């Protein structure tokens, strides 16, 4: 079916909504951590998302192969470890700051893929990596006390790396297995490991305050299940450049919402670091392809035949 302008517009609006919801997830996570441990929050989030996806896409799980289950568990491992690092790290830092640090995963992906598939990144990826390092320095280093790098910063950079690994393995396995089945399995794996951990560690509790429970449900339903589903559907009707630019707004929304809702205090250097990282993300994701039409000039085939009306 031919894509229409209306479908493309609706798809772009849908991606904006996804970016906004993902950005709001940093605020919801920060609020939820006031009521429960990071691993208990993950257990709530992934259990809700896994149950919803399993119920709605249960037909995709019929006659599933062992290879698909294994692939889904590998993807789920990276999903779980990435979010574990993120949730634990969020206890030590501003939500908006973490939003930008997490977004650096898009710059890491080509280099991880290079290591796995031996496909060298292009010049834009190398430029983006340099820009990212500059932005990271401004965003994370407290120059007033010297070169300090707090535990939250380190864990969030680890989260970005693990999520970049997650993106790479999804790209590899989704070409060999049913993507919907892989999604259900990875969410189920993350939920199972989270629940196992909180039971063994004694962190499991049903006595969760209502605000914390509501934030956890929001993360599971909107930021995990519906957001991933919305991204998949929307990207069928828009080009990858638009999708990359719009989804990169997740970091922007995360920072703005953390300032407006949580009252995060950003310094001028942190703002500059966020801006530089955003430029790096756009460079890696789009290679500035969206600017090319502005520099292309169309010339009439036979200028001499043009007359004034």
Contact 281, 107 (CB under 8 A): yes
- pLDDT single digits (tens) 143-154: 665 556 688 999
For residue 210, the model assigns a pLDDT of: 94
pLDDT above 60: residue 123: yes
pLDDT above 90: residue 20: yes
Domain count, the chain: 1
Contact 159, 297 (CB under 8 A): no
Angle of the 249-261 helix axis to the 268-286 helix axis, nearest 10: 160
pLDDT above 50: residue 304: no
pLDDT above 70: residue 256: yes
Q: What is the average pLDDT value for the chain, to the nearest integer? A: 86
What range does the domain containing 181 cover? 5-305
Provide the pLDDT confidence category of residue 309 given band limits of 50, 70 and 90. Answer: very low
Provide the pLDDT confidence category of residue 157 given band limits of 50, 70 and 90. Answer: very high
pLDDT above 80: residue 306: no
- pLDDT single digits (tens) 63-96: 899 999 999 999 999 999 999 999 999 999 989 8
């Amino acid at each position: 079916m031919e894509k229409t302008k209306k479908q493309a517009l609706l798809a772009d609006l849908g991606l904006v909504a996804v970016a906004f919801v993902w950005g709001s997830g940093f605020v919801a996570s920060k609020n939820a951590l006031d009521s429960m441990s990071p691993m208990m929050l993950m257990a709530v989030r992934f259990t809700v998302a896994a149950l919803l996806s399993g119920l709605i896409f249960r037909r995709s799980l019929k006659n599933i192969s062992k290879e698909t289950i294994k692939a889904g568990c590998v993807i789920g491992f990276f999903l779980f470890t990435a979010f574990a690092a993120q949730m634990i790290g969020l206890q030590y830092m501003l939500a908006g700051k973490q939003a930008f640090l997490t977004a650096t995963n898009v710059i890491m992906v080509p280099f991880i893929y290079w290591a796995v598939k031996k496909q060298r990144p292009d010049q834009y990826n190398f430029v983006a990596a340099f820009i990212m390092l500059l932005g990271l320095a401004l965003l994370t280093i407290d120059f007033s006390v010297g070169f300090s790098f707090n535990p939250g910063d380190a864990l969030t950079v680890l989260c970005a790396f693990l999520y970049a690994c997650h993106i790479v393995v999804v790209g590899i396995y989704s070409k060999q297995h049913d993507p919907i089945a892989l999604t259900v399995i990875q969410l189920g794996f993350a939920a199972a490991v989270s629940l196992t951990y909180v039971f063994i560690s004694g962190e499991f509790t049903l006595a969760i305050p209502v605000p914390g429970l509501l934030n956890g449900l929001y993360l599971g339903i909107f930021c995990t299940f519906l957001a991933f589903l919305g991204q998949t559907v929307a990207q069928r009707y828009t080009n990858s450049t638009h999708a990359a630019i719009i989804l990169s707004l997740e970091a922007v929304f995360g920072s703005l919402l953390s300032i407006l809702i949580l009252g995060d205090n950003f310094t001028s250097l942190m703002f500059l670091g966020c801006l530089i990282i955003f430029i790096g993300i756009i460079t890696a994701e789009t290679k500035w392809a969206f600017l090319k039409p502005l520099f292309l000039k169309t010339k009439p085939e036979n200028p001499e035949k043009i007359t004034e009306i």
